[in-house]
Chain A
């Protein structure tokens, strides 16, 4: 059974600081997705990582994928308040011909002035 673990689950950081969110998964997969959810809102797709070594960047966020280590990271550079949200990673699970994603529990990020 595919399990996806994120850490930390809660992260409080100051503006201007750097930090990394980790997403570990338990079985082989080479496709991983990051989503953002603002309070009271839906999930918005941030990054799609489709192969080992994939790196995507947008603004102050950079995501990478190491399929051999079964690890993805979401790195935050010089955090700003607008990045406060919950971030989810999700991993592909191809099972029985049906393509589903398994989500981590999410990392709630709070960026303080």
Chain B
């Protein structure tokens, strides 16, 4: 399907486990972003990527790792999940270079027990 997709949509895991959230876009957008959304904090940027093999930290990167070997994929890994990482995670993409409207995926609701 065209657009931006995330998987899984829901995930329950335990403290200390590694978890990878997947994001895939079919628009060939240059920029991709990971946000987390928590009550009282709004949207917070975790990591972003300007192109394949180019990533940079956002506002709250600790405890997360990203990679971008292909333009269309931008996985987010929680190396050792903590309860504070329970959240809704959104992936987004944009054309960049002046076209900065971001298009959001459906989100992944992650619960860490």
Could you list which residues of chain A lie within 8 angstroms of chain B, going by C-beta atoms?
31, 33, 35, 41-45, 48, 88, 90, 92, 97-101, 103-106
Once the chains bind, are B42 and A103 in contact (CB under 8 Å)? yes
The answer to whether B42 and A104 touch across the interface, beta carbons within 8 angstroms, is yes
24 A-B pairs within 8 Å (CB atoms) are namely: A33-B100, A33-B101, A33-B102, A41-B106, A42-B90, A42-B104, A42-B105, A42-B106, A43-B43, A43-B90, A43-B92, A44-B104, A45-B102, A45-B103, A48-B101, A92-B100, A98-B48, A99-B31, A99-B50, A100-B33, A100-B58, A101-B100, A101-B102, A103-B43
Looking at the assembled complex, report how far the CB atom of A61 sits from the nearest CB atom of chain B, in whole angstroms: 17
List the interface of chain B (C-beta within 8 A of A). Answer: 31, 33, 41-43, 45, 48, 50, 56, 58, 90, 92, 94, 96-98, 100-107
Residues of B contacting A31 in the complex (Cβ-Cβ under 8 angstroms): 100
Closest residue of A by beta carbon distance from B101? A48
